[in-house]
């Protein structure tokens, strides 16, 4: 894939291309290593890591909806020690940067994970999951400007590795949260996480998921994710990683035009295990077809394009 330049930079990381998995949809890479070449990815984003192992929620944990997936895995993970012992040796076999998704029940747990993994050479950065309301002394990290600024500042003080702040889709003005993270030293923003939802079994007359509520992902949330990426691009100067409903190369190009430097593929991996390399090839084909030689030239281009596109007509 050398006919067009697909490389991008995020913070201190240089990626050969913009494609990476969305956390929670790719495990720690081991689950897909027999299906795709992990070296073809721009980066590897891990499933969540918390200080101690978490068993996750009671089943059922996933249910397919129309145009979407509803999940409530509950951040199941092996904890810091399990990640270092069982996952890092595997990840050392591959070349793309590794970004670890970090979760915690309070600020101290976030700090504990980052401080423990900061010396691990194979860990190149951290994706901080702010999308689950995290309350300590009345502070909701993910939904207030003060909360986002506070946790970003505290984490920035304990690592020089990349900090990607994964923002919630439940606020009306994500630009304010993005500016708060940028102002405290974040290297990038990730938008968006899943949107809260539920479904009910009418015959059984009870919620389908064991935890009642879950996160909605897939094509149904693409329009919401695009809007958030657009608004963030207008508000900040740091890179944005777009995620939400990306199933093909055109989806990815739309996110880049809206302002994303890179994109994450999530639910599509469950439908098509080769979704990420497929999207990558489709991006390259789109660039060639449109006479573009450098993906970076397209970042945010829709903001600079005059006029209104003609709506697609359904016949």
User: How many whole angstroms separate alpha carbon 130 and alpha carbon 100?
Assistant: 14
| 123, pLDDT greater than 50 | yes
Q: Is 147 exposed, middle or buried (0-12, 13-18, 19+ CB in 10 A)?
A: buried
User: How many whole angstroms separate alpha carbon 40 and alpha carbon 56?
Assistant: 30
- At residue 162, the pLDDT reads 98
Is beta strand 240-243 parallel, antiparallel or unpaired with respect to 262-265? parallel
- At residue 172, the pLDDT reads 85
User: Is 132 tagged catalytic?
Assistant: yes
Inside any domain, residue 311 = no
pLDDT single digits (tens) 266-306: 999 999 999 999 999 999 999 999 999 999 999 999 999 86
| Catalytic residue (choose from 33, 63, 84, 132) | 132
pLDDT bracket for residue 140 (50, 70, 90) = low
Inside any domain, residue 255 = yes
pLDDT single digits (tens) 84-121: 999 999 999 999 999 999 999 899 999 999 999 999 99
- At residue 13, the pLDDT reads 98
Inside any domain, residue 310 = no
Domain containing 145 — which CATH number? 3.20.20.70
Inside any domain, residue 253 = yes
Are the C-beta atoms of residues 231 and 174 closer than 8 Å to each other?
yes
User: How many whole angstroms separate alpha carbon 18 and alpha carbon 64?
Assistant: 28
User: How many whole angstroms separate alpha carbon 81 and alpha carbon 103?
Assistant: 15
Question: Containing domain of residue 231, as a range?
Answer: 8-304
Comparison of pLDDT for 139 and 96, the residue scoring more: 96
Inside any domain, residue 237 = yes
Inside any domain, residue 279 = yes
Please state the domain count of the chain: 1
Token pair listed for 85: 């012992």
Place of tokens 């899943």: 194
Share of the chain above pLDDT 90, in %: 86
| 10, pLDDT greater than 50 | yes
Token pair listed for 271: 């439908």
């Amino acid at each position: 894939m050398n006919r067009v330049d697909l490389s991008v930079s995020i913070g201190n990381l240089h990626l050969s291309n913009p494609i990476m998995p969305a956390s929670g949809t790719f495990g720690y890479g081991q689950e897909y290593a027999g299906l795709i070449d992990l070296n073809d990815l721009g980066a590897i984003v891990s499933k969540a890591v918390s200080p101690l192992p978490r068993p996750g929620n009671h089943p059922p944990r996933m249910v397919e909806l129309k145009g979407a997936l509803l999940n409530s895995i509950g951040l199941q993970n092996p904890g810091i020690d399990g990640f270092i012992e069982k996952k890092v040796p595997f990840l050392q076999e591959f070349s793309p940067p590794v970004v670890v998704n970090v979760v915690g029940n309070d600020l101290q747990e976030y700090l504990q994970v980052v401080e423990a993994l900061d010396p691990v050479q194979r860990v190149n950065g951290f994706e901080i999951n702010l999308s689950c309301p995290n309350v300590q002394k009345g502070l909701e990290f993910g939904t207030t400007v003060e909360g986002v600024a506070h946790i970003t500042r505290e984490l920035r003080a304990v690592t020089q590795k990349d900090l990607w702040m994964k923002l919630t889709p439940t606020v009306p003005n994500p630009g304010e949260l993005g500016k708060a993270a940028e102002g405290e030293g974040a290297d990038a923003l990730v938008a968006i996480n899943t949107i809260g939802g539920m479904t009910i079994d009418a015959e059984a007359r009870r919620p389908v998921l064991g935890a009642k509520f879950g996160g909605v992902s897939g094509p149904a949330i693409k329009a919401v994710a695009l809007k958030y990426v657009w608004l963030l691009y207008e508000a900040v100067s740091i890179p944005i990683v777009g995620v939400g409903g990306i199933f093909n190369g055109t989806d990815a190009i739309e996110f880049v035009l809206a302002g994303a430097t890179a994109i994450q593929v999530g639910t599509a991996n469950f439908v098509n295990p080769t979704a990420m390399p497929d999207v990558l090839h489709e991006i390259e084909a789109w660039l060639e077809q449109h006479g573009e030689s450098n993906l970076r030239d397209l970042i945010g281009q829709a903001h600079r394009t005059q006029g209104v596109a003609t709506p697609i007509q359904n016949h």
